[in-house]
Amino acid sequence: MVPRPATWLPDPLDDGLLRYWDGHRWTFHTVARQVRVVPPPVAPTPPPVVPTLRPDVAQALERVRGALVGSMKEVNLLGGYLGPEERVLALTGAQGEGIGVLACTDQRLLFLFVGLVRRQFLQVSWNQAKGVVYHQATRTFAVYTTKPTKRAVPAMAVRVGNLADAQAVAHAAQYASAAPRLDIV
């Protein structure tokens, strides 16, 4: 048997230590083993994907006077809810079950909210709409499929904080078809 020279070797009982071999036997002398950690290769981060908006959605977005805080996710998803021949005339931020976007197209009025747990999609075709009312006190934009009365229940009701944006959506609705006028209560 060839004797091993004296040196520091990995401890046979603990991989985290080096133990001194004196050439004949293990000693009580130990040191912490220096493990060289090689970091994993870091892949370059791809640039963020910026969704491209349909031209009609982009134009309507430029005309928004109020803030769309919290609803840009819905604006980016809006194109998937529109038909190929449908054009967005106006949009604004609104609140239903969450903060989303209220869009007026040449065919309908729709509200879209997409949350982590819940999503809400409301729509009323201009062929069905009989009245549009904006209540200033509650800032509620309501669309009725029956004649708007005190007892009528709206087919769609969302809060629009900016009166100018609510009026822009209502004017776009009037332009889109023989949609009802905007009553401000």
Same domain for 172 and 142 = yes
Q: What is the CB-side half-sphere exposure of residue 55 using CA atoms within 13 A?
A: 2
**Residue range 103-107: average pLDDT?**
88
155 is written with which tokens? 């087919």
Q: What is the 3-state secondary structure (H, E, C) of 103-164?
A: EEECCEEEEEEECCCCEEEEEEECCCCCEEEEECCCCEEEEECCCCCCCCCCCEEEECCCHH
Same domain for 142 and 106 = yes
Q: What share of the chain is helix, strand, coil (3-state, %, to 5)?
A: 15, 35, 50
- % of the chain with per-residue pLDDT over 70: 89
**Residue range 21-38: average pLDDT?**
85
Same domain for 64 and 24 = no
| pLDDT beyond 70 at 177 | no
Structural domain includes residue 84: yes
Same domain for 16 and 66 = no
| pLDDT beyond 70 at 66 | no
Structural domain includes residue 15: yes
- Residues whose CB falls within 8 Å of the CB of residue 174, separated by 6 or more in sequence, listed in order: 180, 181, 182
* Predicted local confidence at residue 30, as pLDDT: 92
| pLDDT beyond 90 at 20 | yes
Same domain for 94 and 61 = yes
126-173 pLDDT tens trace: 888 888 888 888 888 888 888 888 888 988 899 988 788 887 877 787
Residue 179's domain comprises 55-184
* Predicted local confidence at residue 182, as pLDDT: 53
Q: How far is CA 51 from the centre of its chain?
A: 12
- % of the chain with per-residue pLDDT over 90: 8
| Tally of residues, the chain | 185
* Predicted local confidence at residue 7, as pLDDT: 92
Structural domain includes residue 45: no
Structural domain includes residue 40: no
Same domain for 94 and 65 = yes
Same domain for 31 and 63 = no
Q: What is the CATH number of the domain that holds 180?
A: 2.30.29
Same domain for 107 and 18 = no
149 is written with which tokens? 């009365």
| pLDDT beyond 80 at 2 | no
Q: What total of structural domains would you count in the chain?
A: 2
Residue type, 4: R
* Predicted local confidence at residue 97, as pLDDT: 85
* Predicted local confidence at residue 179, as pLDDT: 47
Structural domain includes residue 49: no
Q: How far is CA 86 from the centre of its chain?
A: 23
| pLDDT beyond 70 at 117 | yes
* Predicted local confidence at residue 19, as pLDDT: 92
Structural domain includes residue 172: yes
CA distance 68 to 76: 12
| pLDDT beyond 80 at 50 | no
Same domain for 102 and 30 = no
Rounded to the nearest integer, the mean pLDDT of the chain is 82
